[in-house]
Amino acid sequence: MKFNKAKCKVLHMGQGNPHYHYRLGDEGIESSPEWKTLGVLHDKKLNMTWQCALLAHKANHILGCIPSSMASRESKGILPLFSPLMRPHLESCIQLWSPQHRKDRDLWERVRRRATKMVRGMEHLS
């Protein structure tokens, strides 16, 4: 099986890294500031802030779609939608990147607060 040279990238990690130029066969492999593996976005500092912002954006987009598709704001109609639509985005690889920075945790908290405000009878929880 041959490697697809166009899909190969080098990520230089760590301070003081000499940034060597690597080759695969006759062609050089280009350097990249970030890469995505199994849906998780990594950068050279292993900072997951972009991943957190991207997933929160997707979750907010889904939250915007739910009220327009529902006739009622009752909890028995909206709550069954949250689990299959929202949880995969909010819990995506959370064991790996666990929001480390306060601003990332606050971003998740805003998404949660917005979700609870949407359900009639749960407004006081936000």
Q: Where are the domains of the chain?
A: 1-32, 49-125
Separation CA 112–CA 122 (nearest Å): 12
**Whether the Cβ atoms of residue 118 and residue 81 lie closer than 8 Å to each other:** no
62 CA to centre of own chain: 14
Q: Is the dihedral of CA 78, 82, 83, 84 positive or negative?
A: positive
Give tens-digit pLDDT for 42-74.
Answer: 777 777 777 788 888 888 888 888 777 776 666
pTM for this prediction:
0.62
Spatial separation of the C-alpha atoms in residues 59 and 53, rounded to whole Å: 10
Which tens digit of pLDDT belongs to each residue from 68-113? 777 666 667 677 777 787 777 777 666 555 667 788 888 888 888 8
Q: Which of 50, 18, 22, 20 is nearest to 34 (CA)?
A: 50
